[in-house]
Chains A and B, each alone.
Chain A
Amino acid sequence: MAAETSLPTNIETSSEEGLARSAAARAALADVAREPGAAKPDPILVADGITRAFGGLKAVDVAHLEVQRGVITALIGPNGAGKTTFFNLLTGFDRPDDGTWSFNGTKLNRMPAYRVARLGMVRTFQLTKVLSRLTVLENMRVAARGQTGERWWAALFAPLWRGQENENTDRAHDLLARFLLDKKAADFAGSLSGGQRKLLEMARALMVDPELVMLDEPMAGVNPALKQSLLGHVKSLRDEGRTVLFVEHDMDMVRDISDWVVVMAQGQVIAEGPPDSVMADPRVIDAYLGAHHDTKLTFEAEEKILDAAQQELAEEQENEQ
């Protein structure tokens, strides 16, 4: 399995090959056990014993997690479950107290964020981080990998990097067109709306040509119409052969596009599985709604509550008189 899913570089649009591969990857998930820390047939990302404490609070305590290559995996959980912290740890923006994790077999321990990104694991942010006083096109161009003109001595001599710059510009225009931002190319990124910023951030991440795209709440603060288009874009990432891991609150979106769902609560992975089975999982419902939300009231219990309420009312009336 691992051999045939190795990515060709520079996939730009969904290809037959990419579609076939992602279909195979999804099919492979059928045999995976629906339990926290289940082993996947072809994991791209493997995390072991990751913990991170803030003072006395253990924000993240993940025993084992594997992310399948070529599918869309959702990371969900109630507020404060440690999803974003876990994201930061995986991408090198924060350091765990303990644990090991690897991407494509490369250990990422103590690796700075920029090197994680260069390996092909690129993230976006919950609060979009566009480069406001650069144009949309410059936002895109800055993300391209391996630019000669990024060395200070080469920067002085334009002929050394102009050819590469033109190639990057063409690629940027293609991506902007795909994300419907091509008319905005010359505008400052700071003038974009919230939704457009989300699109720009996703397009910019693609400019790095990542194998694994990590989206931190891509739907937060986006209007319903744009949400549909964003959904399409996320799916297209998978269909061109990339792996997607995203954090999300929006359950409809999770059900709609994810192939696999990982649920976190209080820093731990409490459930894993395809969307439907996870959402029916009592542990997940408990985590979201509290443990006693579905205990049925018996007739006797109802009577008791009613009596208590009436007694209270009567006492109040007495007090008033």
Chain B
Amino acid sequence: MDFSSLFSDSLQQAFGTSAIVYCLAAIGLNIHFGYTGLLNFGQAAFMAVGGYTMAMFVTQWDVSLWLAMLAGLGLTAVLAILLGIPTLRLRADYLAIVTIAAAEIVRQVYGSIALKKYFGAQDGLTAFSADFRALNPFDGPVDLGIVSWGKNDAWVVLVGWFVVALCCLVVWLLMRSPWGRILKSIREDEDAVRSLGKNVYYYKMQSLMLGGMIGALAGFVTALKSAAINPSFFATDVTFFAYTVLLIGGAARVLGPVVGAIIFWFLLTFLDLFFSAATDDVGSVLIPSSIMTNQQASLVRFIVMGLALMLLMIFRPQGIFGDRRELAIDGR
């Protein structure tokens, strides 16, 4: 087994385009769940609306990609308002139910035959990323020694991590301010915040919109990294992977989602490659096929990942960056 290529391939994924998508999605969820205590189980819907709006505006009406992105952000904000109006006055679990349903509705709408003209049904949309690629400064593959990316991926990675850094900066600036303090207070006890003269509903709505718009950025990256978009990119498990990323890094920490995404993708890739190499009949067989066959290998990574998440929750429930003192307080 070639461990050095195992490592470099895993690192490649850990800093690659998929990690960026989940990192951005988790930054959005961090604002919702980590800071404000809003249970949004439909981050995939915000990503889909962002990504699809961008792709559709370009393919249908031939507007510039950048304007299409603005439209994507705008429509995601509208989605947040639509989901927030009926649910944000109610208990936290209502938002969870509504958002998980919204994510399914959005995905089914984009995949529907009736709207094939606009969204391309299950085939999705392509040919919208010309404006983005035209700005690519790289004219060949980028090789950094351990990791290397193709021309287009390298451009997405560069821009993507820059956007992640920008989002982290915004989150840091906001959460040290009185505005962020109100969000955290709402997470602790919204009646107390109300009794002090703050319009809780208004702040929850702002939080839902901001986190959703960062989700839209994740949708843009999803579409641009493969220069295509289709409904399968926004399945329900996307939201739950994003939650996993958030919990690994530690909720309510600015850099939690970044570290979480890197660790998540490193482990996921490493386990996949390790098990497939270990069960490979050609090389030295580490695990006999009576225990695990080569076909089963790629599924085992999710089992191990789930086990790791359970252990993390038991022994380090605050995540990598969390403050254990904070968690010890379970007081209402």
In the complex, the answer to whether B173 meets A134 with C-beta atoms within 8 Å is no
Q: Which residue of A lies closest to B206 (CB)?
A: A152
Shortest B194–chain A CB gap in Å is 5
In the complex, A103 has a CB within 8 A of chain B: no
Question: What chain A residues lie within 8 Å of B194 (beta carbons)?
Answer: 93, 112-114, 117
Per-residue contact bits, chain A 166-202, to B (CB 8 Å; 1 contact, 0 not)? 0000000000000000000000101100000000000
Say how far B19's CB is from chain A's closest CB, in angstroms: 27
- From residue 128 to 152 of chain A, which have CB atoms closer than 8 A to chain B? 129-134, 138, 141-143, 145, 147-152
List the A residue with the shortest CB-CB distance to B184.
A134
Taking a contact as CB atoms closer than 8 A, the residue among B170, B188, B200 that contacts A133 in the complex is B188
If A142-B185, A150-B178 touch, whether A190 touches B196 (CB-CB below 8 Å) is no
B143 interfacial by beta-carbon distance below 8 Å: no
CB pair B197–A208 under 8 Å, yes or no, is yes
Quote the shortest CB–CB distance from B181 to chain A (angstroms): 5
With a cutoff of 8 Å between Cβ atoms, the chain A residues found around residue B206 in the complex are 152
Task: Fill in one digit per residue for B296-332: 1 if any A CB lies within 8 Å of its CB, else 0.
Answer: 0000000000000000000000000000011001111
List of A residues within 8 angstroms of B182 by Cβ:
142, 150
Residues of B within 8 A of A143 (CB): 196-197
Structural contact, B191 and A156, CB atoms closer than 8 A: no
The answer to whether A190 and B329 have CB atoms under 8 Å apart is yes
Across the interface, do B184 and A165 meet the contact criterion of CB distance under 8 Å? no
Pairwise interchain contact B196-A141, C-beta atoms closer than 8 A: no
A142 — which chain B residues lie within 8 A by C-beta?
A: 178, 181-182, 185, 193, 196, 198
A204 and B192 CA atoms in complex are apart in Å by 10
Give B207's nearest chain A residue, CB to CB.
A152
Give the distance in Å from the alpha carbon of A171 to the alpha carbon of B184 in the complex. 21
Q: Which chain A residues border B173 with CB–CB below 8 Å?
A: 155-156, 158
Instruction: Check if A114 sits within 8 Å of B191, measured CB to CB.
Output: no
* Contact between chains at A122 and B197 (CB < 8 Å): yes
Q: Which of A115, A152, A204 contacts B196 (CB 8 A)?
A: A204
On whether the beta carbons of B192 and A130 are closer than 8 Å, the reply is: yes
Query: A21 an interface residue at 8 Å Cβ cutoff?
Result: no
Q: Is B179 an interface residue (CB 8 A)?
A: yes
Residue of B nearest to A157 (CB): B173
Interface status of A107 (Cβ within 8 A of chain B): no
Query: Complex: how many Å from CA A118 to CA B25?
Result: 36
Asked whether any CB of chain A lies closer than 8 Å to the CB of B226, the reply is no
Report which residue of B181, B187, B191 has the largest number of chain A beta carbons within 10 angstroms of its beta carbon.
B181
Partner of A131, one of B177, B184, B197: B184
Given A132-B188, A133-B326, A156-B174: A114 and B181 interface contact (C-beta under 8 Å): no
Give the CA-CA distance A141 to B181 in the complex, in Å: 9
Q: B200–A114 contact, CB under 8 A?
A: yes
Q: Could you tell me the distance between the alpha carbons of A56 and B174 in the complex, rounded to whole angstroms? A: 48
> For A123, what are the chain B residues with a Cβ–Cβ distance below 8 Å?
195
Residue of A whose beta carbon sits closest to that of B194: A113
- Rounded to whole angstroms, the CA-CA distance of A165 and B330 in the bound complex is 28
Specify which chain B residues have a CB less than 8 angstroms from the CB of A125 in the assembled complex.
191-192, 195
CA distance A123 to B178 in the complex (A): 22
B199 contacts partner chain A, Cβ-Cβ < 8 Å: yes
Q: Does B189 contact A (CB under 8 A)?
A: yes
Contact A131 B188 (CB under 8 A): yes
A66 to B5, CA, bound (A): 80
A133 touches B329 (CB 8 A): yes
Name the residue on A nearest B197 (C-beta): A117
Q: How far is the CA of A132 from the CA of B37 in the complex (A)?
A: 14
* Alpha-carbon gap, A165 to B198, bound state (A): 17
Q: How far is the CB of B214 from chain A (nearest CB, A)?
A: 14
* Contacting pair B188 A165 (CB below 8 A): no
Distance of B262 from chain A, by nearest CB (Å): 26
Q: Are B179 and A151 in contact (CB under 8 A)?
A: yes
B179 touches A155 (CB 8 A): yes
Q: Is A91 an interface residue (CB 8 A)?
A: yes
Pick the contact of B189 from A112, A115, A129 — CB < 8 Å?
Answer: A129
Q: Mark A92-121, 1 if CB is under 8 A from B, else 0.
A: 010000000000000000001111011000
In the complex, what distance in Å separates the CA atom of A155 from the CA atom of B210? 13
User: Is there an interface contact between B178 and A165, defined as CB atoms closer than 8 Å?
Assistant: yes
Which of A115, A130, A142, A149 has the most chain B CB within a 10 Å cutoff?
A142
Closest to B175 in A: A155
Binary CB contact string for chain A from 244 to 266 against chain B (1 if under 8 A, 0 otherwise): 00000000000000000000000
Does B180 touch A at the CB level, under 8 Å? yes
A280 CB, min distance to chain B CBs, angstroms: 35
B178, A131: Cβ atoms under 8 Å? no
A141–B178 touching, CB < 8 Å = yes
Closest A residue by C-beta to B173: A156
Query: Which residues from chain A contact B187 at a C-beta distance below 8 Å?
Result: 133
Contact between B179 and A152 (Cβ–Cβ < 8 Å)?
A: yes
Closest to B202 in A: A114
- Residues of B contacting A208 with CB < 8 Å? 196-197
A116 nearest in chain B by CB position: B197
Closest-CB distance, B71 to chain A (whole angstroms) = 21
A145 vs B196: C-alpha distance when bound (angstroms): 8
Known: A138-B181, A191-B329. A152 touches B197 (CB 8 A): no
Query: Across the interface, which residues of B come within 8 angstroms of A150, CB to CB?
Result: 178-179, 182, 198
Please report which residues of chain B, range 151-205, place their CB below 8 angstroms from some CB of chain A when the two chains form the complex. 170, 173-174, 176-182, 184-185, 187-189, 191-200
Taking A131-B185, A142-B181 as known contacts, 20 extra A-B pairs with beta carbons closer than 8 A to each other, sorted by chain A number, are A91-B195, A115-B197, A123-B195, A129-B189, A129-B191, A129-B195, A130-B188, A130-B331, A133-B188, A134-B184, A138-B181, A141-B181, A142-B182, A142-B193, A150-B198, A155-B178, A158-B176, A188-B325, A190-B329, A190-B331
Jot down 9 A-B pairs with beta carbons below 8 A, ordered by A: A93-B191, A114-B196, A114-B197, A123-B195, A129-B189, A129-B191, A130-B331, A134-B188, A155-B173
